[in-house]
Structure 1
Amino acid sequence: MPILLALDASSSACSAALLRRREGLDDELISRFALTPREHTRRLLPMADEVLAEVGLAASALDAVAYGRGPGSFTGLRIAAGVAQGLAFGLDRPLIGVSTLEALALGGHRRHHYRRLITALDARMGEIYVAAWQCRDGRLEALMEEAVMPPERLRLPEGLGDADWVGIGSGWNLREQMGVEVQAGLGLCLPDVEAEAADMALLAMEALARGEARPAHEVQPVYLRNQVAWQKSR
């Protein structure tokens, strides 16, 4: 059964997770997580070694490598991408990039059973990275494409009635700049939650099953701002 290693350094947190599918048994998920600002380069590989050692596996046993592709800290994304690509190249294994915003949503659903979430990260420069999700039975449906925008431009997805939304991620530290509708529709706000490699491993395993893994050289971080900065409102 497939074995996958996921790495993340997209925020002030650093994490690694090993996911092993086992026939007839529950998945085995081993992870490490720490808030280590400015220490990602030093901590990420040792975390990967720790999760492999805990289950007695060598890196050569991996079927794929995954990493948090962003959006997030430019420096952190490059660190995780570099480490993950290095491992994938060295092992001749495919690589999978996982959305940081999607991992935040899955984490909120897995741990607390939240059904409708808006994940947002502080993008600096007076903007947020944001996406919205509906969650059922461990599955995520995107209700808003990932975007970067000033917090005052955020709008709730339409057509869901008076749904209570849960806001997760550092972007919600800017909630006072958001519109009245957004603030009124927010049932709970968790700005201190960080994305975790454990959730990325689960998302990556599903992507692997769908045949979405790619050669290491084809996978790039997703910064969002590079794609949309020229479209900012004037």
Structure 2
Amino acid sequence: MKILAIDTTSGACSVALYDQGEVREAFVRAERDHTRRLLPMVDQVLAEGQSSLSQIDALAVSRGPGSFTGLRIAISCVQGLAFAADKPVVPVSSLSALARGAVRENPGWLAEPLPVLAALDARMQEVYWGLYDAAKPGVALIEDRVSAPDQVVSALVTGKYIAPSDPRAPILAAGPGWQYPQLADLNPAQLTLDAAIHAQDIAALAADLWKQGAAVSADALEPAYLRNEITWKKRERIRPAK
């Protein structure tokens, strides 16, 4: 199985080729120029893997949540490649990829069975977040959502993942969304604030999803903004009167 994965969800740009369990990745932290960088990175990774677009089984991409612009860039690129090569697409949660990457870079996290709370800064004093099984990051314990930091804490208490009296929350923490004091005050067992989303983790998660029949056609690919209604209302408020 060969899967080509692309991500521009946050402040990074990455492309990876998954080939029978082996992964090659090109990764660069870049706030801008994603559009200019992507296709050369695709060519680079395919060349290193001695593969062509016609030889892959599917493409994979982060469906979100994340930066509106970043999601649109990656999804548009994947749709274009998928249409050109007549290949299906496997959408992957950016937060599950963030959780998987944090565990991959911190193998000691698997020493105790704690859940991973992946969080991205959603601006407007909110975070995109989801809770995942550290041993199986593709398994969501709490599905992706956007919330104020104090609502995240309430959801964890309600789900009995933490207790209000605990001096240290029995969870693992990954992602820049943890910069908010209400989350930092949870004092998680382990914290990786600078965790990034990598295409190699999207590719590995997509391989499992592919086996489960989760691929879609390019024209059916939809981003998971989680904030569609809020954004629409905001645009309505700022739209000039006719």
Aligned to 1:24: none
Deviation at 1:154, TM superposition (A): 1.2
After the TM superposition, which residues 197-212 of structure 1 pair with which residues of structure 2 at under 5 Å, given as runs? 197-212=199-214
Match of 1:51 among 45, 55, 63: 45
Determine whether 1:142 maps to 2:147.
Answer: no
Contact 1:148–1:228 under 8 Å retained in 2:
no
**Per-residue CA shift, 1:124-147, capped at 9, x if unaligned?**
1111101111222x4543221111
Q: Give the TM-score normalised by structure 1.
A: 0.87
Q: Distance in 2 between matches of 1:83 and 1:101?
A: 20
Distance (whole Å) between structure 1 residues aligned to residue 160 and residue 8 of structure 2: 35
- Contact 2:133–2:139 (8 Å) recurs in 1: yes
- Equivalent pairs counted in the alignment come to 219
Contact 2:99 2:137 in 1 (8 A): no
TM-score normalised according to structure 2 size: 0.84
Please name the residue that 1:196 is paired with: 198
Counterpart code for 2:182: Q
1:117 maps to 116
Report the equivalent of 2:182: 177
- 1:191–1:17 Cα change, 3 Å: same
The CA distance in 1 between the partners of 2:4 and 2:96, in whole Å, is 18
State the shift of 1:186 in Å: 1.0
User: Shift of the alpha carbon at 1:32?
Assistant: 0.8
- Describe the superposition over 1:200-219 as per-residue Cα deviations: whole angstroms up to 9, x where unpaired: 00011111111110110001
**Structure 2 unaligned residues grouped into runs of 5+:** 233-242
Match of 1:12 in 2: 11
Correspondence list, 1:1-234, <5 A? 2-21=1-20, 27-113=21-107, 114=109, 115-136=114-135, 138=136, 140-155=138-153, 156=156, 158-160=159-161, 164-174=170-180, 176-178=181-183, 183-226=185-228
Worse-superposed segment, 41-50 or 149-158: 149-158
For residue 184 of structure 1, report the CA deviation from its aligned partner: 3.4
The verdict on how the C-alpha distance between 1:185 and 1:173 changes in structure 2, with shifts beyond 3 A counting, is: closer
More strand by percentage: 1
Aligned to 2:238: none
SS for the counterpart of 1:224 is coil
Higher deviation after alignment, 107-116 or 88-97: 107-116
Return the alpha-carbon distance in structure 2 between the equivalents of residues 82 and 207 of structure 1. Answer: 21
The answer on whether the counterparts of 2:131 and 2:143 sit within 8 Å (CA) in structure 1 is yes
| 1:188 shift after superposition | 2.3
Where do 5+ consecutive residues of structure 1 fail to align? 22-26
Identity of aligned residues (%): 42
**SS at the partner of 1:84?**
helix
